[in-house]
C-alpha cells in the first residue's frame, strides 16, 4: 500500500518490524498467520453489532429555563453522562456547511505527500511545532501501535496556519464547537446544582485542541488498533465521524461495543477532568478505535480543555479526588506512559 501512495506514512513496515521483534519466525512480509491468542480483537468482537448510543435532540435547550422540553433534554444529557459517558447529539447548531468544509480541508491535508506532512505539517504548518503525528514510533509491541495519522493543533494556534482555506475552515469549526461544548458543560454543571461559570472562565476557544484523524485501510486489522484503549484527559470531547465506523466503548461489564455512526449526529464523551470535577458523578469511559481491512476512516475530535493552571476541585463533598491542576495531570500522564506504556489516569489522584 505505502509503496504506491507517497502520502501514506510507513505504518505497514512498522507493524512488520514489531511483529518480527516479537516473533522471529514471522517472515519478512509480516503476513503469516498468528496464533489466535495474539489477536487484539477476537472475531466475536469484530462481528459485534453496532450499538446506538443515547441520541439527544439538543435543539430543546433553546426553550426557556424550566420549560418541560428543556428540562427533559437536560435530564437526558445528565443521565447519559452518568451511565454511559458517551452520547450523540442532533440539531446541535453547527451549520452543515461548516462541517462539510472542515471535512474537505481535512482530506486535502492528509493527501499531501508524507514527506511534506512529516517535515512540518504542510497545510497545517504554523509558527509552532509540527502538528503531524503518525502511528507510535516509540511502540515496543503491537499493543502500543496506532494505525492512524493525525494533525493535532491547539485552537489558539489556528491563526498561525499558513493555508488560508484550511485556517478559515478550522476557525469556523473551532468557534462553533466551543459554543456547543460550553452549552453541554453548563447543562451538566446545572444538573449537579452548580453554575456553568467555572467552564466559561477556564475553557475558551484558545485553550482547547482540534485533532484531525485518518485511519488508513489496515491489512493487520485483527492485531492493530487505530487508537489503543484509553480515556480522554479533557472535560468533554466532541467527535465528528464519517460513516465507516470503528469507534468502540467499554461498558460496565468489560465488554466492548461499537458505536453506530450517524451522519447527522456528533458524538460526545466525558473526559477525566469532568469525572474528577463531578466527583465521579459523570463517567469518563474507556474507548478505542478498531481498524478496517478495506476502508479508510476520518474523524474530527475537539477536546474541551481548561487552562494549564486551572485547579480541578470536586464540586461535591466529600471529595474522592484530591485537588490538582490540569498541568499536573498532564505531566503525570506523560510520566506514566513513559514508565509503564499506559495511562494510569485518575487513580493517581484518589484521596
181-218 per-position pLDDT tens digit: 999 999 999 999 988 799 999 998 889 999 999 999 99
pLDDT score recorded for residue 129: 58
Query: Grid coordinates representing 290?
Result: 478498531
Of 2-6, 19-23, 308-312, which one has max mean pLDDT?
A: 308-312
On the question of a cis peptide bond just before residue 80, with omega within 30 degrees of 0, the verdict is no
pLDDT score recorded for residue 38: 42
Q: Using CA atoms, how far apart are residues 128 and 131, in angstroms rounded to an integer?
A: 8
pLDDT score recorded for residue 16: 86
pLDDT: which is higher, 209 or 124? 209
Q: Using CA atoms, how far apart are residues 66 and 71, in angstroms rounded to an integer?
A: 6
Shortest CA distance to 233 belongs to which of 311, 303, 338, 288? 303
**Beta-sheet pairing, 55-57 with 86-90:** parallel
Q: What is the mean pLDDT of the chain?
A: 87
Q: 256 pLDDT exceeds 80? A: yes
Q: Using CA atoms, how far apart are residues 128 and 124, in angstroms rounded to an integer?
A: 10
- Say if residues 150 and 212 touch (Cβ distance below 8 Å): yes
- Read off the pLDDT band of 340 (50, 70, 90): confident
The backbone torsions φ and ψ at residue 110, rounded to the nearest 5 degrees and listed phi first, read: -75, -20
pLDDT score recorded for residue 85: 95
pLDDT score recorded for residue 137: 67
The backbone torsions φ and ψ at residue 284, rounded to the nearest 5 degrees and listed phi first, read: -85, 100
Tally the C-alpha atoms within 13 A of residue 74's C-alpha that lie toward its C-beta.
21
Average pLDDT over residues 148-171: 92
- Say if residues 320 and 280 touch (Cβ distance below 8 Å): yes
Q: How many residues does the chain have?
A: 351
pLDDT score recorded for residue 49: 56
- Read off the pLDDT band of 328 (50, 70, 90): very high
Query: Residue 337's Cα: distance from chain center in Å?
Result: 17
- Read off the pLDDT band of 236 (50, 70, 90): very high
Q: 21 pLDDT exceeds 50? A: yes
Q: Using CA atoms, how far apart are residues 270 and 276, in angstroms rounded to an integer?
A: 11
pLDDT in tens, 68-86: 999 999 999 999 999 999 9
pLDDT: which is higher, 5 or 255? 255
Q: 315 pLDDT exceeds 50? A: yes
Percent of the chain with pLDDT over 90: 66
Q: Using CA atoms, how far apart are residues 266 and 75, in angstroms rounded to an integer?
A: 18
pLDDT score recorded for residue 19: 82
Q: 252 pLDDT exceeds 90? A: no
The backbone torsions φ and ψ at residue 269, rounded to the nearest 5 degrees and listed phi first, read: -135, 150
Q: Using CA atoms, how far apart are residues 231 and 222, in angstroms rounded to an integer?
A: 21
- Say if residues 114 and 8 touch (Cβ distance below 8 Å): yes
DSSP code string of 312-329: E--SSSS-SB--EEHHHH
pLDDT: which is higher, 50 or 10? 10
- Looking at the chain, the number of H-run helices and the number of E-run strands are 9, 15
Active site members: 297
Q: 44 pLDDT exceeds 70? A: no
Amino acid at each position: 500500500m505505502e509503496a504506491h501512495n507517497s502520502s501514506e506514512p510507513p505504518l505497514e513496515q512498522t507493524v512488520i518490524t514489531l511483529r518480527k521483534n516479537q516473533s522471529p519466525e514471522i517472515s519478512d512480509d509480516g503476513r503469516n498467520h498468528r496464533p489466535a491468542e495474539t489477536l487484539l480483537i477476537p472475531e466475536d468482537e469484530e462481528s459485534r453489532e453496532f450499538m446506538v448510543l443515547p441520541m439527544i435532540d439538543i435543539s430543546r435547550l433553546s426553550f426557556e429555563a424550566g420549560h418541560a422540553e428543556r428540562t427533559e433534554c437536560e435530564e437526558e444529557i445528565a443521565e447519559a453522562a452518568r451511565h454511559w459517558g458517551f452520547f450523540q447529539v442532533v440539531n446541535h447548531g453547527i451549520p452543515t456547511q461548516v462541517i462539510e468544509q472542515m471535512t474537505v480541508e481535512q482530506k486535502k491535508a492528509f493527501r499531501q505527500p508524507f514527506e511534506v506532512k512529516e517535515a512540518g505539517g504542510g497545510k497545517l504548518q504554523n509558527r509552532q511545532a509540527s502538528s503531524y503525528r503518525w502511528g507510535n514510533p516509540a511502540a515496543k509491541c503491537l499493543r502500543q501501535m496506532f494505525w492512524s495519522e493525525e494533525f493535532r493543533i491547539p485552537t489558539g494556534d489556528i491563526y498561525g496556519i499558513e493555508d488560508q482555506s484550511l485556517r478559515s475552515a478550522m476557525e469556523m469549526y473551532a468557534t462553533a464547537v466551543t459554543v456547543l461544548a460550553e452549552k453541554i458543560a453548563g447543562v451538566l454543571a446545572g444538573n449537579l446544582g452548580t453554575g456553568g461559570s467555572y467552564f466559561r472562565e477556564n475553557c475558551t476557544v484558545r485553550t482547547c485542541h482540534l485533532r484531525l484523524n485518518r485511519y488508513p485501510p489496515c491489512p493487520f486489522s485483527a492485531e492493530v488498533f487505530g487508537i489503543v484503549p484509553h480515556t480522554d484527559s479533557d472535560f468533554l470531547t466532541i467527535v465528528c465521524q464519517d460513516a465507516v465506523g470503528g469507534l468502540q466503548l467499554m461498558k460496565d461489564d468489560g465488554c466492548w461495543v461499537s458505536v453506530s455512526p450517524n451522519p447527522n449526529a456528533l458524538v460526545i464523551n466525558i473526559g477525566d477532568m469532568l469525572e474528577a470535577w463531578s466527583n465521579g458523578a459523570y463517567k469518563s469511559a474507556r474507548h478505542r478505535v478498531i481498524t478496517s481491512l478495506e476502508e479508510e476512516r476520518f474523524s474530527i475530535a475537539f477536546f474541551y480543555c481548561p487552562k494549564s493552571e486551572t485547579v480541578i476541585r470536586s464540586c461535591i463533598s466529600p471529595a474522592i479526588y484530591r485537588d490538582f491542576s490540569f498541568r499536573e495531570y498532564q505531566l503525570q500522564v506523560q510520566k506514566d506512559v513513559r514508565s509503564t506504556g499506559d495511562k494510569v489516569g485518575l487513580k493517581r489522584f484518589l484521596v
